[in-house]
Amino acid sequence: MPSCPPVARCPQQVQPQIISCCSTCPCQKRKRNKRDTIEFLSNGTYILDENFKKIRKRDVLDEVVHVDAKCNSESLREIIIQNIDRVTSVAKKRIQEEAESQLQGRYNVICARGDFSYVTNTESFCQQTVGDVTCYVFKQLSSVVRKRLA
């Protein structure tokens, strides 16, 4: 009696990895319009939706992103916006000098392109992004407050 070859099994389908945006990304997980408007045919060619329009890329230097949960001082926010620079070493020095001059205290400033991580103990702070530069300013705690926290 002839025996049948074993039945081939289809490989298990792998679920696509879900990638979320970074914390500073203004898109909030938006879909790319181009992918939504292209229909692929079985022979590898594609049909572009006739309603598709080319999207103009915005200038990131003009975009100011307000993230209120990361700022409790509008004065600091304005100082950052007025003094930020694409050269982060220039920006942090300008911002620190202006904050200390206007707000009468000692301030620390961190500036970088993209995301960064930090931990601070402070009462007055602000993180603001303009274009691709993010700066975080915070007031140093007084020695009295530091002793209470210790």
**CB 73, CB 124: distance < 8 Å:** yes
With CA atoms as reference, report the closest residue to 85 among 105, 109, 52. 109
- SS3 of residue 39 by DSSP: strand
- Answer whether residue 130 shows pLDDT above 60: yes
- SS3 of residue 129 by DSSP: strand
- Which pair of tokens denotes residue 58? 């915005």
pLDDT one-digit tens code per residue, 24-79:
555 544 444 444 455 556 555 555 555 555 555 555 555 665 546 789 999 999 99
- DSSP letter at 134? E
With CA atoms as reference, report the closest residue to 128 among 93, 86, 77, 79. 77
CATH 3.40.50.300 for the 60-149 domain, yes or no = no
- Answer whether residue 19 shows pLDDT above 50: no
Tell me the mean pLDDT in the region 70-93.
94
pLDDT for 28: 47
Q: pTM of the prediction?
A: 0.54
Packed helices 74-83 and 88-103: angle between N→C axes, nearest 10 degrees:
140
Enumerate the domain spans of the chain.
60-149
pLDDT one-digit tens code per residue, 104-121:
999 999 999 988 888 888
pLDDT for 86: 92
pLDDT for 32: 45
Q: Rounded to an integer, what is the distance from CA 92 to the centroid of its chain?
A: 19
Tell me the mean pLDDT in the region 144-149.
75
How many CB atoms lie under 10 A from the CB of residue 92? 21
Q: Cα–Cα distance between 109 and 135 in angstroms, integer? A: 7
pLDDT for 30: 47
**CB 139, CB 105: distance < 8 Å:** yes
**CB 97, CB 106: distance < 8 Å:** no
pLDDT for 109: 97
